[in-house]
């Protein structure tokens, strides 16, 4: 029985207003900046309007430009409409475009650089190679020609010199996911630069390793969830959504699970937006079988191995919070012996080799436990274990906050960890 929620059709105006609200809410554009569009089968382009507050944009503000140039709506279309039109001409496969000015990506654009998506396998899988369009006057045909030429090469993300970024997709959701993932990657790379450490990028062989399908388990049709299972599903989804709101993960990234019993747990699925994930979307894994009609996270083997080796572990979170993830793409260690809370919650943060993350999970399971519950996963993010869903989420927050403080401390000067005597006192008070 597939109980995943299936959203119905949505009008382009509603979809554009919803995605723009999301971009503005997370400060990935300004009141006047950015524009989005969707192209219909008949060639009509629905686009956000010019000179309208992005913070209060509604469906009634969206404009439709017909193939003959006729404009329908109460506003003028975005002044950037020319490059939307030229991109759609160059790439008939694209049906949606996102353009905005998130700070991290603008930083790259004003330095004439582009984020290297090989920092993370997921970033490379979602975004691919990033193009770069030379500067031209905003709203001009020349700018549209420069951008369209890059899209014509087959890239889906294009940095604009001294301007921002343009991203395309087969759907607006896909375009947004590429945009958000690229923005996250840019933020993590900037944090890594702040560490003053060399950034490690993935080889083609390593990227291929991560894209191999994990073993597909036999399927089964579960009975209706009882109150306990449904409650656990709701709790896990609430924390996944909270993690998204706190920018600890993206719409497409993040693998979370919670144990139901010795031989059963629920895990987040693939291809479901983390911002809107519902209890019915989670995949039940029971007796080495998976719930029929759903596709669990690619990291399923890792969760299985940890639960099998550690009966006391009740929840697992695998994510890419920007500050902590910066440590994962450098050779810099994350020292938790900085403030009492960090050491109490995190213990000593382990480092897991990239290949181990995409193996059968046994090496990761042997490294971690509730006595050593946190790890940096090379070029993949972070992993935390908990005795409850709340415990795992709390630990993820503390890890990200500790990483943020460390990066800021290194910018200020020399970080002074707690002394061995202080650590011994903490261990006696909290770990014995």
Secondary structure of residue 1 in the 3-state scheme? coil
Backbone angles phi, psi at 44, to 5 degrees: -70, 145
Q: What is the predicted pLDDT for the residue at 155?
A: 98
Mean pLDDT of the chain: 94
Q: What is the mean pLDDT of residues 123-145?
A: 96
4 has pLDDT over 60:
no
18 has pLDDT over 60:
yes
Q: What is the predicted pLDDT for the residue at 5?
A: 56
User: Half-sphere exposure of residue 231, counting CA atoms within 13 Å on the CB side?
Assistant: 4
2 has pLDDT over 60:
no
Q: What is the mean pLDDT of residues 284-296?
A: 95
Q: Which has the minimum average pLDDT: 50-54, 112-116, 421-425? A: 50-54
Q: What is the mean pLDDT of residues 381-393?
A: 98
For the chain, what are the domain ranges?
Answer: 12-195, 215-430
Q: What is the predicted pLDDT for the residue at 82?
A: 94
Q: What is the predicted pLDDT for the residue at 1?
A: 32
Q: What is the mean pLDDT of residues 385-391?
A: 98
Backbone angles phi, psi at 133, to 5 degrees: -105, 130
pLDDT category at 210 given cuts 50, 70, 90 is confident
Q: What is the mean pLDDT of residues 355-365?
A: 93
Q: What is the mean pLDDT of residues 356-361?
A: 91
Integer Rg of the chain from CA = 23
98 has pLDDT over 50:
yes
Which residue matches tokens 């009509």? Answer: 44
Share above pLDDT 90 across residues of the chain, in percent, rounded to a whole number:
90
3 has pLDDT over 50:
no
pLDDT in tens, 250-276: 999 989 999 999 999 999 999 899 999
CA 292 distance to own-chain centroid:
26
pLDDT in tens, 293-334: 999 999 999 999 999 999 999 999 999 999 999 999 998 999
The full 3-state SS of 135-171, as one line of letters, equals: CCCCCCHHHHHHHHHHHHCCCCEEEECCCEEEEEECC
Segment (H or E) for 384: strand 381-386
Q: What is the predicted pLDDT for the residue at 395?
A: 98
Q: What is the predicted pLDDT for the residue at 214?
A: 63
Q: Which residue has the higher pLDDT, 375 or 1?
A: 375
Strand partners, 316: 257, 385
Q: What is the predicted pLDDT for the residue at 10?
A: 87
9 has pLDDT over 90:
no
**Residue 425: how many CB atoms within 10 A of its CB?**
13
CB neighbours of 33 closer than 8 A, spacing ≥ 6?
A: 54, 100, 101, 164
Q: The CATH number of 12-195 is which of 3.40.50.300, 3.40.225.10, 3.40.190.10, 1.10.760.10?
A: 3.40.225.10
290 has pLDDT over 80:
yes
213 has pLDDT over 70:
no
Q: Which residue has the higher pLDDT, 424 or 331?
A: 424
Whether the domain at 12-195 and the domain at 215-430 fall into the same CATH topology = yes
423 has pLDDT over 70:
yes
Q: The CATH number of 215-430 is which of 1.10.10.10, 3.30.420.40, 2.40.160.20, 3.40.225.10?
A: 3.40.225.10
Pick the closest to residue 25 from 77, 97, 100 (CA basis): 100
What is d(CA 397, CA 153) in angstroms, rounded to the nearest whole number?
40
pTM of the model: 0.94
CB neighbours of 414 closer than 8 A, spacing ≥ 6?
A: none
């Amino acid at each position: 029985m597939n109980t995943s929620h299936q959203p119905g059709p949505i009008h382009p105006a509603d979809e554009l207003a919803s995605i723009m609200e999301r971009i503005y809410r997370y400060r990935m554009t300004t009141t006047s900046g950015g524009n989005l569009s969707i192209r219909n089968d008949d060639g009509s382009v629905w686009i956000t309007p010019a000179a309208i507050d992005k913070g209060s944009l509604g469906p009634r503000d969206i404009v439709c430009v017909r193939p003959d140039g006729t404009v329908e709506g109460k506003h003028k279309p975005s002044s950037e409409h020319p490059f939307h039109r030229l991109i759609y001409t160059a790439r008939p496969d694209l049906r949606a475009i996102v353009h905005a000015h998130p700070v991290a990506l603008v930083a790259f654009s004003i330095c004439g650089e582009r984020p290297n998506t090989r920092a993370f396998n997921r970033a490379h899988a979602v975004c691919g190679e990033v193009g770069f369009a030379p500067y031209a006057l905003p709203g001009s045909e020349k700018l549209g020609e420069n951008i369209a030429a890059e899209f014509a090469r087959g890239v889906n993300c294009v940095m604009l010199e001294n301007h921002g970024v343009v991203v395309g997709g087969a759907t607006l959701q896909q375009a947004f996911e590429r945009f958000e993932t690229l923005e996250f990657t840019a933020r993590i790379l900037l944090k890594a630069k702040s560490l003053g450490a060399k950034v490690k990028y993935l080889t083609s062989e390593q990227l291929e390793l991560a894209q191999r399908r994990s073993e597909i388990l036999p399927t089964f049709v579960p009975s209706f969830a009882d109150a306990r299972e449904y409650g656990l599903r709701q709790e896990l989804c609430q924390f996944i959504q909270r993690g998204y709101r706190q920018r600890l993960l993206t719409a497409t990234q993040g693998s979370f699970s919670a144990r139901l019993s010795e031989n059963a747990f629920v895990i987040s699925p693939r291809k479901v937006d983390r911002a809107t994930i519902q209890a019915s979307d989670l995949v039940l894994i029971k007796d080495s079988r998976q719930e029929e009609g759903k596709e669990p996270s690619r990291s399923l083997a890792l969760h299985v191995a940890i639960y099998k080796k550690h009966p006391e572990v009740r929840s697992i979170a695998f994510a890419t919070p920007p500050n902590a993830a910066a440590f994962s793409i450098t050779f810099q260690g994350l020292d938790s012996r900085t403030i009492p809370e960090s050491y109490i919650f995190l213990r000593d943060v382990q480092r897991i080799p990239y290949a181990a993350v995409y193996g059968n999970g046994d090496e990761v399971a042997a490294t971690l436990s509730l006595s050593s519950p946190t790890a940096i996963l090379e070029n993949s993010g972070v992993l935390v274990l908990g005795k409850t869903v709340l415990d795992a989420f709390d630990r993820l927050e503390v890890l990200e906050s500790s990483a943020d403080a460390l990066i800021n401390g290194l910018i200020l000067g020399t970080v002074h960890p707690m002394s061995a005597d202080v650590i011994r006192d903490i261990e006696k008070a909290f770990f014995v």
